[in-house]
Structure 1
Amino acid sequence: MITIQPDASATWAEPIDMLYACHGRVKNFCRQLRILPDYLAQNGINQAVKNDVQQILNYFNLAAPLHHDDEEKDFFPALVQVAPQAQANINELERQHIKLHENWTALAKQLNALIQNECDEVDVQLIEQFIAGYDVHIALEEPLFEMGKQYLSAEQLHAIGKIMAARRKIS
């Protein structure tokens, strides 16, 4: 498996770029997940697989929930204030966040078992369900990021970026 490094060019000063960067990491980790079953079938479990799976677990256990908080607590409320037409999509995205977390819980259980040598494969259907959920989600969400670039002021974006960084205790 190939470990893909996150986009280092995004900063908290540009919170929408950070939201996009998170989506980039999600897409990269989903690509890794998609190849995982075939890799395991051909090569078995090795330390490289365990390392990559641990990175995926870390991301979706820690960073993804923070990303969803960034959206639900800061970005979406600010956006709907200036672009009320976004409310229906925001409602749907928030419903999807719940399903994404449910899908992750099921998949994470298997991934944890894999790295603890309690199993030697992962359910392909769980992986595909997880990836499909994010594919739909990102396709609906990224146009809202563009709306944010269009409608939110530099001051609003700066304030959102500071909150996002503080959520992660980054100065």
Structure 2
Amino acid sequence: MLKLDSLSAAAPSFDAPLEMLHACHDKVRHFCQQLDALPAYIAANGNSPAVGNTITGIVRYFEVAGPAHHQDEEDELFPLIMARQPEAAPKIEQLLGEHGYLHARWNAIRDDLNAYAAGTLGTLNAGEIHEFTRLYREHAAREEAWLFPTAGALISEQELRTAGQRMAARRGGK
């Protein structure tokens, strides 16, 4: 059966923004795993309330948390890294481009998922789904290998605390 479990481990708070952003990648991987499993599950079991609930959760994550995560990186980390390490521009530009490309790819998948859940689309394109999840996982790995360590080395603890406060405020917290 399709796993419908929630991520129950306590996530880092906005007081530790780099750890929180890393934890978001764990959630990305979780939802990518659910998304990858969806076409095979549907082929074996058809449309059901469980499929609809899973689609709702996937869509909510990639519509709300995903864009907020990208905005956090773009507004809080990228400018500070660029100010201290201008030669990082090509890497920052690559990550920005990936954010835009992932968003565009997500829009097509989201529309298909919503149409399938509504009963107006007969099948999902497994190839498009798997390509999206592959690209997202690779993007997360690049950020974990370069962005987060670079931010940790270049951005002060006070700046990170301030960034975390702004991140929380964008979500209506703190």
Classify the TM-score, shorter chain: over 0.9
In 1, Cα distance between the equivalents of 2:6 and 2:83?
35
- Structure 2 residue ranges without an equivalent (≥5): none
Which aligned pairs between 1:2-41 and structure 2 lie closer than 5 A? 2-6=3-7, 7-41=9-43
- Partner AA of 1:91 in structure 2: E
Query: In the alignment, is the contact (CA less than 8 A) between 1:89 and 1:140 conserved in 2?
Result: no
Identity over aligned residues, as a percent? 36
In 1, Cα distance between the equivalents of 2:90 and 2:42?
41
- Is the counterpart of residue 152 in structure 1 residue 155 in structure 2? yes
In 1, Cα distance between the equivalents of 2:67 and 2:90?
21
1:149 deviates by 1.7
- Partner AA of 1:89 in structure 2: K
From 132, 135, 139, give the equivalent of 2:134.
Answer: 132
- Partner AA of 2:165 in structure 1: K
1:4 deviates by 4.2
Instruction: Report SS of the residue matched to 2:14.
Output: coil
TM-score (norm 1): 0.94
TM-score (norm 2): 0.92
Q: Which residue of 2 aligns with 1:65?
A: 67
In 1, Cα distance between the equivalents of 2:6 and 2:15?
21
In 1, Cα distance between the equivalents of 2:39 and 2:119?
15
Instruction: Indicate the larger mover: 12-21 or 141-150.
Output: 141-150
Instruction: Indicate the larger mover: 153-162 or 142-151.
Output: 142-151
- Partner AA of 1:144 in structure 2: L
From 60, 84, 87, give the equivalent of 2:86.
Answer: 84
In 2, Cα distance between the equivalents of 1:58 and 1:115?
13
Query: In the alignment, is the contact (CA less than 8 A) between 1:13 and 1:161 conserved in 2?
Result: yes
In 1, Cα distance between the equivalents of 2:126 and 2:85?
39
Deviations 1:133-163 (A, max 9, x none): 2122112211210121222111010011001
RMSD: 1.3
In 1, Cα distance between the equivalents of 2:131 and 2:111?
15
Instruction: Report SS of the residue matched to 2:119.
Output: coil
From 95, 99, 120, give the equivalent of 1:97.
Answer: 99
Q: Which residue of 2 aligns with 1:108?
A: 110
Moved over 4 A (4+): none
